[in-house]
Structure 1
Amino acid sequence: MTNGSSARRDDNGGSFEVFVEGWLVRQEHYLDELHSALQHCHESSDDDLKELISRVLAHYQQYYEEKSKITQRNAFLVFSPTWFTTLERALLWIAGFKPGLVFRVVRDSVDDLSDEQNQRMTSLMNKTKAQERALNDEQAKIQESVAAPQLVNVARRRGGAVQDQETAVESLRSALETVVTEADSLRMTTALKMMDILRPVQNVKFLAAAAQLHLKLRGYGLGRS
């Protein structure tokens, strides 16, 4: 009985919701560290900053590893995640932030980009936008398949069509899992490539701004819920 209840809890995202709560507490601690590093950046070496950056990236990597597990268990859930506020859910793009947001955060938080950095960032932004469009098209095809006559007919059947229903739902689940995995990969790849363009202190500014935006949206969402 206990194992069955635990499995249902996992399928409904309960374990991931608990993880996210703890992850956000650690996010606040890292934001404090990032702000402190910026206040004392003239006293810190690049190696010190890189060590902090590495720990923050490991923190994000942990999130995506855990998210991958819940996506594999219940891909439908990540499109309407119970662990986010209504505001956060309204801003989701394929179960997460839109990769292009990275460029907006950098523009708003880093004011000393060189001409070469700007050129490299523009190139990366154009490639990211193209990949976003491709994923939008992929998601649109999935949505169209849900409304396709053959799938609608399967959903309306009763009795002997249970196997057909299960097959159709499994096909949809698999397609959603794939598009979320690809979107998460683009999110992380875009951020990492952006960080390759930035200097250590600029990366600290970027990571601090990104964490602050995330936590502010969270707080605002909780205040309105």
Structure 2
Amino acid sequence: MNSAFVPTRRMGLYEPMHQMDMWGDFKGNNNCFDIPPSMIFDDNESENTSHKSIEPSHKYDEESSKPADKVLRRLAQNREAARKSRLRKKAYVQQLENSKLRLIQIEQEIERSRQQGVCIGSGLADTNLLRSSGTTNPGIATFEMEYAQWVEEENRQISELRNAVNNNNGSEDDEELRSFVESGMRHYFHLFKIKQTTAKADAFYLMSGTWKTCAERLFFWIGGFRPSEFLKVVAPNLEPLEEQQRVDVCNLTQSCQQAEDALSQGMLKLHQIVSETIADGGQRNYMGDAMEKLEALVRFVGQADHLRGETLQQICRILTTRKAALALLALGEYLQRLRALSSLWASRPNTSCTT
């Protein structure tokens, strides 16, 4: 018997050694290798001939007599073909996923616009349709869907919180209100978390504010609302306050303004550095230097959201449970009014909400 063959009893199939190596190269890919009909035997025939001497076919005599380098070259070609096939399949699957996300996103915005007439300046539909590249960043598409869900959940929570405040008997430390406050806090921190993930995918998009409505962008600051603005908005709803509470809120407002000024100065400095780097196009690798400096945008977004989260936590520590609930309710209703104002602005005669 030729030494290049090893008779194996597996479904009546006899495999030459070099063919077994090829099976290993294509393991897990059912479409990469077809079994020739001549290699499949009937079970009865195999049983009857199991004790007979098995002679290789003339085809495999020729195959085994080929030089080793030709066999290795064929194996290498097969591996390369399989690799290219896997890459094409991966690219196709990724394209389908991107198309699916974009379709869901556009369908949601169309339905929301039909029901509410909301300004499409939030970037959930018009921005993508105007993108000339034709490919949506998967991270952005995911964020836009998650943010739309976040707004819907916020509206639901505001409604429940409003009912809970109205039904409260005036107790400053109500357990039901406490649960609503904790739920509202978790909701805002969830937004900060998904924003940080999106900033890593595309910080320019997140800081542009196109995912917000028109009126909200009027008060936009490094990816969201100013913490000091939040305190000014909710302050009238917190009276009467105890003297110590009033002092603490005043100190918190000043601290927020100082932190905001520091971050704003940092942003201005970043603008200046990047501008100078690009203007000095004669230096080596100036584009690489500019790209490296722009990575700081991700940190600025994270620091701004950290300041927002700290402000929310501090105001809840300073105030009673009822007053903290009133603060969250005032913030939520304020954002709702800004979105309603955007809708009115978009629906005024012969005009549209533009970015």
The interval holding the TM-score normalised by the smaller chain is 0.7 to 0.9
Give the distance between the partners of 2:140 and 2:164, measured in 1 at CA: 35
Superposition CA RMSD, Å: 2.3
Deviation per CA, 1:94-124: give whole Å up to 9, x if none. Answer: 1111110122123121112111100111111
- What letter corresponds to residue 3 of structure 1 in structure 2? Q
- 1:23 Cα deviation after fit: 0.8
Alignment CA distance shift 1:2-1:93 (3 Å): same
**Secondary structure of residue in 1 paired with 2:168:** coil
- What letter corresponds to residue 331 of structure 2 in structure 1? A
Counterpart of 2:153 in structure 1 is: 26
- 1:219 Cα deviation after fit: 1.9
Give the distance between the partners of 1:28 and 1:54, measured in 2 at CA: 16
Counterpart of 2:94 in structure 1 is: 3
Pick aligned residue for 1:113 from 229, 233, 241: 241
- Asked if 1:42 corresponds to 2:169, the answer is yes
Counterpart of 1:13 in structure 2 is: 140
**Secondary structure of residue in 2 paired with 1:9:** coil
- What letter corresponds to residue 201 of structure 2 in structure 1? R
The answer to whether the 8 A contact 2:185-2:312 is kept is no
Show structure 2 runs of 5+ residues with no match.
1-91, 102-134, 346-352
- 1:43 Cα deviation after fit: 7.8
**Secondary structure of residue in 1 paired with 2:227:** coil
With CA pairs under 8 Å and 6+ residues apart, which has the higher RCO, 1 or 2? 1
Give the distance between the partners of 1:166 and 1:19, measured in 2 at CA: 33
Give the distance between the partners of 1:193 and 1:10, measured in 2 at CA: 36
Give the distance between the partners of 2:209 and 2:220, measured in 1 at CA: 10
Give the distance between the partners of 1:129 and 1:90, measured in 2 at CA: 18
Name which of structure 1's ranges 84-93 and 191-200 shifts more when overlaid on structure 2.
84-93
Counterpart of 1:100 in structure 2 is: 228
Pick aligned residue for 2:334 from 209, 213, 221: 213
The answer to whether the 8 A contact 1:10-1:16 is kept is no
Name which of structure 1's ranges 89-98 and 23-32 shifts more when overlaid on structure 2.
89-98
- What letter corresponds to residue 83 of structure 1 in structure 2? W
- What letter corresponds to residue 29 of structure 1 in structure 2? R
**Secondary structure of residue in 1 paired with 2:308:** helix
Name which of structure 1's ranges 83-92 and 13-22 shifts more when overlaid on structure 2.
83-92
Identical columns (%) = 24
Give the distance between the partners of 2:328 and 2:236, measured in 1 at CA: 12
Give the distance between the partners of 1:89 and 1:146, measured in 2 at CA: 24
Bigger radius of gyration among the two = 2
The answer to whether the 8 A contact 1:11-1:74 is kept is no
Counterpart of 2:211 in structure 1 is: 83
TM-score scaled by length of structure 1: 0.88
Pick aligned residue for 2:296 from 158, 172, 175: 175
Show structure 1 runs of 5+ residues with no match.
none
Counterpart of 2:278 in structure 1 is: 151
TM-score scaled by length of structure 2: 0.57
Structure with greater proportional helix content: 1
The answer to whether the 8 A contact 2:206-2:223 is kept is yes
- Asked if 1:185 corresponds to 2:335, the answer is no
Give the distance between the partners of 2:213 and 2:247, measured in 1 at CA: 37
- What letter corresponds to residue 86 of structure 1 in structure 2? C
Alignment CA distance shift 1:66-1:12 (3 Å): closer
- 1:17 Cα deviation after fit: 1.1
The answer to whether the 8 A contact 1:91-1:97 is kept is yes
Counterpart of 2:265 in structure 1 is: 137
Counterpart of 1:194 in structure 2 is: 315
Give the distance between the partners of 1:11 and 1:182, measured in 2 at CA: 24
